[in-house]
Amino acid sequence: MEKSKKEALKTEVHRTYAAIAQEGSVECCEGSSSDATCFADSYEGKAGYFPEADLKLGCGMPTEFININPGDTVVDLGSGAGNDCFVAQERTGPEGRVIGLDFTFEMVRKARENARKLGVKNVSFALGEIEDNPLPNDFADVVISNCVFNLIPDKVLAFKETFRIIKVGGHMSFSDVIIDDELPDAIRSNMELFTGCVAGAHSKEAYLRLITDVGFEDVQILSEKSLPIPEALIEKHVSVEEISRWRDAGNGLKSITISARKSSTKADACCESSCCA
């Protein structure tokens, strides 16, 4: 993707999610003033859940399946208002720490305010980009992310940076949107749909290949579910006939939650080939 288009996409994503931080949660799938599409799971009843931090922007629950142990350092990439961070800190205990990273100042400000309200001392939030992660090498025991990598134009660099900040032997758990087959060009190229995590979706095979190519191993699909196609949004850009052909061919949207591990062998090989540079 050319640089000017990447910058345009990042600007649009920033605009959309800054507005959500100021307005509050997304009204899921209909009646929303936001362009973001809501595929969120319910966190109600989960330890650490704080409703004010739940803006309904996820598409899974990466903390549900992954091992987070007392004393762990956990990083949440694209942490928003802090929902997954507050759930994760219940598992790290006071001896652990959780750092949320988001490139939208409005989200970081909202997350810090939520942490203040909760009185948690081991959760902090930093402003920064996933593709140019400010955290040091071998920093995190666990990295999580919830429906964020679809918003990143340069996913290869984003996964390389994720690999870099995880400790040897550490692991990651991501929830994200995938497609069964290629999206129509009109959807793929539209920024409004990109900010709703639809146009940036990869196929499952391509998504998993990105993860293994940077050096992760033991990649597992922890959960997979079909998602509703936001037709009211898509029909503004694609004909009803094209949507029907796409669906009739068995294509659609899914949410997957995956895990992967960084081994010492893979880490050494990666850095020798300059992927950690």
**pLDDT at residue 251 in the model:** 66
Quote the number of domains for the chain: 1
Q: How far apart are CA 150 and CA 207, in angstroms?
A: 10
Q: What tokens were used for 64? A: 């549900």
**50 pLDDT higher than 90:** yes
Structural domain contains residue 274: no
Where do we find the tokens 């001896």? 95
Structural domain contains residue 121: yes
Please give the average per-residue pLDDT across 8-17, as a whole number.
81
Which one has a higher pLDDT value, 25 or 200?
200
Read off the pTM: 0.84
pLDDT bracket for residue 257 (50, 70, 90): very high
Structural domain contains residue 267: no
**Which string of DSSP letters, residue by residue, matches the chain?**
--HHHHHHHHHHHHHHHHHHHHH-S--SSSS-SSSPPP-PPP-TTSTT--GGG--S--SS-TTTTS---TT-EEEEET-TTSHHHHHHHHHH-TTSEEEEEES-HHHHHHHHHHHHHHT-SSEEEEE-BTTB--SPTT-EEEEEEES-GGG-S-HHHHHHHHHHHEEEEEEEEEEEEEESSPPPHHHHT-HHHHTTTSTTPEEHHHHHHHHHHTT-EEEEEEEEEEE---HHHHTTTS-HHHHHHHHHTT--EEEEEEEEE--HHHHHHHHHTTTT-
Structural domain contains residue 227: yes
264 in Cβ contact with 272 (< 8 Å): no
Q: Is the dihedral of CA 114, 132, 223, 30 positive or negative?
A: positive
Q: What tokens were used for 266? A: 């893979």
Please give the average per-residue pLDDT across 62-71, as a whole number.
93
Structural domain contains residue 276: no
User: CATH no. for residue 96?
Assistant: 3.40.50.150
Please give the average per-residue pLDDT across 50-72, as a whole number.
92
Task: Flag the least confident range among 4-13, 18-27, 47-56, 171-180.
Answer: 18-27
**Which string of DSSP letters, residue by residue, matches 151-219?**
G-S-HHHHHHHHHHHEEEEEEEEEEEEEESSPPPHHHHT-HHHHTTTSTTPEEHHHHHHHHHHTT-EEE
**88 pLDDT higher than 90:** yes
> What is the span of the domain harbouring residue 41?
3-261
Structural domain contains residue 104: yes
Please give the average per-residue pLDDT across 58-78, as a whole number.
94
100 in Cβ contact with 125 (< 8 Å): yes
**pLDDT at residue 273 in the model:** 43
Structural domain contains residue 60: yes
Please name the residues in contact with 3: beta carbons below 8 A apart, sequence gap of 6 or more: none
Structural domain contains residue 186: yes
Q: Measuring CA to CA, how many Å separate 213 from each of 177, 207, 266, 275?
A: 19, 10, 10, 10
